[in-house]
Amino acid sequence: MPHDVVTASLNARDKSGRIDVRFGAGMKTFGVSRRALLSIASPPRATEVRLLQHIDAFCEIVASGLGSKRSGGDVVLVTANDVRRWRRAWQSSEVAAGI
């Protein structure tokens, strides 16, 4: 799904990210847990650079519905488990396509 990142920032205290994204006409704010940042690539790093390097992957996780809903409604938090599920889905689609 096409998206436009409006803002992205890292909370220096707890090393978690916040991303504001426009999906079509709607705006979505979601969080990225510290463990998700550590899980997205190797070596594990929970930095703003890592957040920005993999911002499209985090947006894809949310757009595909793999992000975990936080209690209280609409807020989505991308966790390490979400990253693992997304990676497995991505890898299995490569195998199915014969890549």
pLDDT in tens, 61-81: 988 887 777 655 677 899 999
The pLDDT score that the predictor gives to residue 3 is 82
pLDDT in tens, 8-66: 999 999 999 999 998 888 888 999 999 999 999 999 999 999 999 999 999 999 888 87
Q: How far is CA 49 from CA 9, 35, 44, 68, 92, in A?
A: 10, 15, 12, 23, 28
The pLDDT score that the predictor gives to residue 57 is 94
